[in-house]
């Protein structure tokens, strides 16, 4: 093993040491397959292709402007977009449902609530109370679940309590207040099926509605429920990158978005009897190695479990490299982004794959569905399987570590609560910096990494550098965070790359110019920050000098998140269009008319400098609008 | 003679032509639904490559007036048909020297990945009465057939 490279035609990466590491690997990764998948279908890229019925696939050309049924490009594009947004919403609603169920079950057995203040805040917002924290947690979880399970024709109640009043007014006027979140997904997929809805604007409004239910429940509330169960983020520094992998331990790489599903296992792994078993097998103990968003989530709350969590190694398209180090003994997956491409690597390196939620079942993974009541048994079985894998594989597998990769003192633990606390308990210091012009504005750089747009994290990282150089502070959430931190933009020294105003602020406070809010779920936290800023200034959200960028959006979930951004009235930059450019109506509504509907807009540009110019211009216009 | 002409500006890279070529040259008969897209035996006899600027370059056999491939062929497996002007390949005579692969100025000829003793080369769908299947399948008309005057090669 590790004698020869698989093939050096790998795609570029913003993280040059990682790019070099992957190019030399003896196994195939996603980075190798970009080359052979380079030729794309033009119809697919533009969304001018429909295969919703047996007459298809129909494609739009100058000679055939309509499909056989008569659907034109506008119908094809918006139908497919709604399908994608509904699927993406379904993913996040699955996550919040499981999170609420786990909180509920924990409350019923009077299990530990590590975030009492988060619970109090939720009780205040929801207007519920209880005799003790268990009753309170039960009521909070039940309130969320009750909304999720409402039919489509009954509006969800917490939207009114969670949303910013001026936004709620706009949403009511547009008729896009969502009914039960699961039912809205159902309605979305019905609406875009064969020969049903063919009104492109009506379908785009449904995308916004799904955006609201995704954003408030799937994103924001998942974070807050997690805070109750797992503890709140605390600002601190931590190591990131492949350096965090310590081969002396039995290492479990975790992938997914549902931390509450392996809390029991995580706690068992540090129990003396389990550690003793690891030691008997020849290891010092167990470590969880962070990967994908759930890794970001663990990093964010890392202050609460320094013993078991080794640090965040990397994002979605770093997962193959993490496995290729040879030091990972098992992959525990509960959701995406668990790439299908990890399977041959796991096979080759004898890495045990275990899946605890069948929505993310890998072909070669052992399915151990998480059942709360059976968590004790389940954790023990998983531990047995992983120890067995460790014993079997370690004498046979050669290590290919990267101990210098990444950074040691990366700032993490930033949340809407911890940041405000850091600023002295209110947003005034940040608002003053924006008013004075030392910080021109705020950019939320969110979403995934894709291997297009120049390569792994390439557009994201170069865009962030352009933005901070223009004195725009960057807040991140999602796999983009993993790429940006592994490229060194979240250490205090990165202040050097910022413009003079932002640099001075960073030096004074000892912070980097890019603040990491963690997983994609934390887009919900960024939007709380945006809401609280607007509230503190006394304006509506579209007036804020604040922009969003999902430069390297990858998935349907990102599209659902993006719809939340649009519903909030925020400008949203995308590196590549979401398969919509065949439709003149979709392009017009998303990039122009949306400004009059919600105040939001989509900006599509794949060049970092040009994108930063556009975003800076929008920020300057918003500043002018506020007379600052 | 008939020749395929390429308008690379029009090519969207959809690979419909590749699909049609695979289907036309598959060894076992069948429909487009059961064509094995993973079987290297079904590989298309041309390539669509990116031009690095967001566009595509369709690489098709030009059936050259003075064919370098046939000129390089020592065994006589590649010959220009005196009637049609198309370069045809007789795999029984092939000596597996791959000099044709080396000498094609367009990089069109591919070695056969399965047998490793043959090549894959466009036969202009000689057994079809109509125009080549790739041309028929192109939704953008980025490739088309034209009649050109051919003077016998020297």
pLDDT of A123 strictly over 50: yes
pLDDT for the residue B151 = 65
ipTM tops 0.90 = no
Is CATH 3.40.50.2030 the classification given to domain A411-625? Answer: yes
What pLDDT was estimated at residue B35?
A: 85
Residues A118/A151, Cβ–Cβ less than 8 Å: no
Q: Where are the domains of chain B?
A: 1-60+122-149, 64-120
Q: Do A41 and B12 make contact, defined as CB atoms within 8 angstroms?
A: yes
* Residue A11 confidence (pLDDT): 95
Q: Whose structure tokens read 């709140």?
A: A232
Domain positions in chain A: 72-230, 242-393, 411-625
Chain mean position to CA A524: 10
CATH T-level assignment (fold) for domain B64-120:
Alpha-Beta Plaits (3.30.70)
Put simply, the answer to whether B14 touches A38 (Cβ < 8 Å) is no
Segment A188-225, tens digit of pLDDT: 999 999 999 999 999 999 999 999 999 999 999 999 99
Q: What is the CATH number of domain A242-393?
A: 3.40.50.2030
Query: Is a pLDDT exceeding 50 seen at residue A340?
Result: yes
What is the distance between the alpha carbons of residues B95 and B98, in angstroms, rounded to a whole number?
A: 8
Q: What would the mean pLDDT of A433-456 be, rounded to a whole number?
A: 96
Q: Tell me, yes or no, if the two domains B1-60+122-149 and B64-120 fold the same way.
A: yes
Q: Which residues of A touch B38 (CB under 8 A)?
A: none
Which residues touch B149 (CB under 8 Å, ≥6 apart)?
none
CB of B95 within 8 A of CB of B74?
yes
Cβ atoms of residues A9 and A29 within 8 Å:
no
A residues 267..326 contacting B (CB < 8 A)? none
Q: At what angle do helices A73-108 and A181-191 cross, to 10 degrees?
A: 160
- Given this model, what pLDDT does residue B31 score? 86
Do the chains contact at A61 and B140, CB–CB below 8 Å?
Answer: yes
CB under 8 Å to A595, separation ≥6 — which residues? A601
| Strand bridging mode A49-50 / A236-240 | unpaired
Using the beta-carbon criterion (under 8 Å), do B14 and A41 form an inter-chain contact?
yes
Mutation target vs B (from A35, A42, A61, A581; most B CBs, 10 A cutoff): A42
Give the residue, B35 or A98, on which the prediction is more confident. Answer: A98
Please choose, from the candidates A125, A143, A123, the residue with its C-alpha nearest in 3D space to the C-alpha of residue A133: A123
Q: Could B139 and A38 be called an inter-chain contact, meaning their C-beta atoms sit closer than 8 Å?
A: no
Average pLDDT over residues B2-31: 92
Close Cβ partners of B30 (under 8 Å, ≥ 6 residues apart): none
Domain B1-60+122-149 architecture: 2-Layer Sandwich (3.30)
Q: Which residue from A minimizes the CA distance to B57?
A: A39
Question: Domain spanning A72-230 has what CATH number?
Answer: 1.20.1270.30
What DSSP string describes A481-501?
HHHHHHTTTTSGGGGGGS-HH
Verify whether the Cβ–Cβ distance B13 to A59 is below 8 Å: no
* Measured distance CA(B75)–CA(A1) in Å, rounded: 42
Confidence (pLDDT) at A422: 97
Question: Has residue A420 got a pLDDT over 50?
Answer: yes
Find the mean pLDDT for residues B1-7: 93
CA end-to-end span of chain B? 16
> How many A/B residue pairs have CB atoms within 8 Å?
25
pLDDT, position A514: 98
**Residue among B48, B139, B140 whose CB faces A39 most closely:** B48
Closest Cα in chain A to B51: A39
What pLDDT is attached to residue A360? 94
Q: Whose structure tokens read 């969880």? A: A288
Task: For chain A, give the percent of residues with pLDDT over 90.
Answer: 95
Provide, as residue numbers in chain B, all residues whose Cβ is less than 8 Å from the Cβ of A42: 12-14, 140
Per-residue pLDDT of A361-419, as tens digits, reads 999 999 999 999 999 999 999 999 999 999 999 999 999 999 999 999 999 999 999 99
In angstroms, what separates the C-alpha of A47 from chain B's closest C-alpha? 13
B152: pLDDT strictly greater than 80: no
Closest CA to A485 of A461, A505, A502: A461
B58 neighbourhood in chain A, CB within 8 Å? none
Omega cis (within 30) before A57: yes
Rounded to an integer, what distance in angstroms lies between the CA atom of residue A541 and that of residue A561?
16
pLDDT for res A3: 56
Query: Same CATH fold, A242-393 and A72-230?
Result: no
If you measure CA to CA, which chain A residue comes closest to B10? A42
**Residue where the block lists tokens 């990397």:** A314
pLDDT digits (tens, 9 = 90+) for A247-276: 999 999 999 999 999 999 999 999 999 999
Q: Do A40 and B140 touch (CB under 8 A)?
A: no
């Amino acid at each position: 093993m590790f004698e020869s490279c698989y093939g050096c035609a790998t795609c570029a990466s913003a993280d040059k040491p990682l790019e070099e590491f992957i190019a030399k690997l003896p196994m195939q990764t996603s980075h190798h397959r970009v080359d052979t998948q380079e030729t794309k279908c033009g119809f697919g890229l533009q969304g001018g292709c429909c295969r919703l019925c047996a007459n298809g696939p129909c494609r739009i050309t100058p000679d055939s402007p309509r499909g056989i049924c008569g659907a034109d490009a506008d119908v094809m594009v918006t139908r497919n977009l709604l399908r994608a947004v509904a699927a993406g919403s379904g993913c996040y609603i699955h996550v919040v449902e499981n999170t609420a169920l786990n909180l509920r079950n924990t409350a019923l057995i009077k299990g530990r609530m590590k975030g009492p203040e988060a619970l109090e805040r939720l009780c205040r917002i929801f207007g519920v109370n209880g005799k003790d924290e268990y009753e309170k947690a039960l009521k909070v979880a039940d309130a969320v679940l009750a909304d999720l399970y409402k039919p489509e024709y009954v509006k969800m109640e917490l939207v009114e309590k969670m949303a910013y009043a001026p936004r709620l007014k706009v949403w009511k006027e547009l008729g896009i207040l969502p009914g039960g979140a699961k039912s809205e997904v159902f309605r979305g997929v019905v609406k875009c099926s064969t020969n049903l809805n063919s009104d492109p604007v009506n379908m785009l409004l449904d995308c916004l509605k799904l955006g609201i239910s995704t954003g408030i429940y799937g994103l924001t509330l998942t974070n807050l429920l997690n805070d109750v169960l797992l503890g709140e983020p605390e600002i601190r520094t931590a190591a990131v990158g492949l350096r965090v992998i310590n081969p002396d331990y039995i290492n479990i790489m975790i992938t997914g978005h549902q931390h509450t599903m392996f809390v029991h296992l995580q706690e068992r792994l540090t129990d003396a009897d389990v550690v003793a078993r690891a030691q008997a097998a020849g290891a010092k103990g167990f470590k969880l190695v962070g990967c994908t968003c759930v890794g970001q989530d663990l990093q964010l709350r890392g202050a609460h479990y320094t013993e078991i969590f080794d640090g965040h190694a990397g994002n979605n398209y770093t997962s193959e490299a993490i496995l290729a180090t040879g030091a990972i003994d098992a992959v525990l997956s509960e959701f995406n982004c668990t790439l299908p491409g990890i399977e041959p690597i796991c096979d080759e390196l004898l890495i045990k794959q275990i899946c605890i939620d069948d929505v993310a079942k890998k072909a070669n993974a052992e399915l151990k569905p998480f059942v709360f009541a059976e968590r004790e048994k389940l954790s023990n079985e998983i531990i047995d399987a992983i120890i067995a894998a460790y014993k079997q594989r370690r004498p046979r597998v050669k290590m290919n570590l990267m101990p210098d990769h990444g950074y040691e003192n990366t700032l993490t633990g930033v949340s809407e609560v911890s940041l405000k606390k850091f600023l002295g308990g209110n947003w005034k210091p940040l608002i003053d910096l924006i008013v004075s012009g030392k910080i021109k504005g705020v950019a939320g750089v969110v979403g995934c990494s894709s291997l297009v747009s120049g390569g792994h994290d390439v557009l994201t990282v170069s865009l962030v550098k352009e933005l901070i150089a223009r004195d725009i502070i960057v807040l991140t959430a999602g796999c983009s965070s993993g790429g940006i931190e592994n490229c060194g933009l979240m250490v205090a020294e990165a202040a050097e790359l910022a413009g003079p105003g932002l640099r001075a602020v960073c030096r004074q406070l000892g912070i980097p110019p890019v603040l990491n809010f963690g997983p994609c779920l934390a887009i919900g936290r960024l939007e709380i920050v945006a809401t609280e800023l607007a509230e503190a200034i006394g304006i509506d959200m579209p007036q804020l000098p604040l922009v969003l960028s999902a430069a390297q959006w990858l998935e349907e979930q990102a599209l659902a998140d993006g719809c939340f951004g649009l519903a909030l009235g925020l400008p949203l930059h995308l590196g590549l269009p979401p398969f919509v450019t065949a439709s003149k109506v979709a392009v017009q509504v998303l990039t122009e008319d949306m400004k009059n509907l919600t105040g939001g807009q989509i900006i599509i540009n794949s060049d970092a400098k040009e994108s930063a110019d556009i975003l800076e211009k929008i920020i300057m216009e918003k500043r002018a609008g506020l007379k600052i | 003679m008939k020749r395929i002409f390429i308008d690379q500006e029009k090519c969207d890279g959809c690979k419909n032509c590749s699909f049609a070529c695979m289907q036309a040259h598959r060894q076992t008969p069948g429909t487009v639904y059961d064509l094995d897209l993973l079987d290297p035996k079904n590989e298309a006899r041309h390539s669509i490559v990116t031009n690095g600027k967001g566009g595509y370059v369709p690489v098709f056999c030009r059936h050259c007036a003075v064919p370098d491939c046939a000129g390089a062929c020592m065994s006589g497996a590649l010959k220009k048909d005196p009637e049609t002007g198309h370069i045809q390949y007789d795999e029984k005579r092939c000596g597996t020297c791959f000099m044709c692969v080396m000498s094609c100025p367009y990089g069109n000829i591919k070695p056969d990945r399965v047998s490793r003793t043959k090549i894959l080369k466009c036969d202009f769908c000689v057994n079809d009465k109509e125009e080549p299947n790739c041309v028929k399948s192109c939704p953008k008309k980025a490739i088309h057939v034209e009649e050109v005057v051919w003077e016998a090669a020297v």
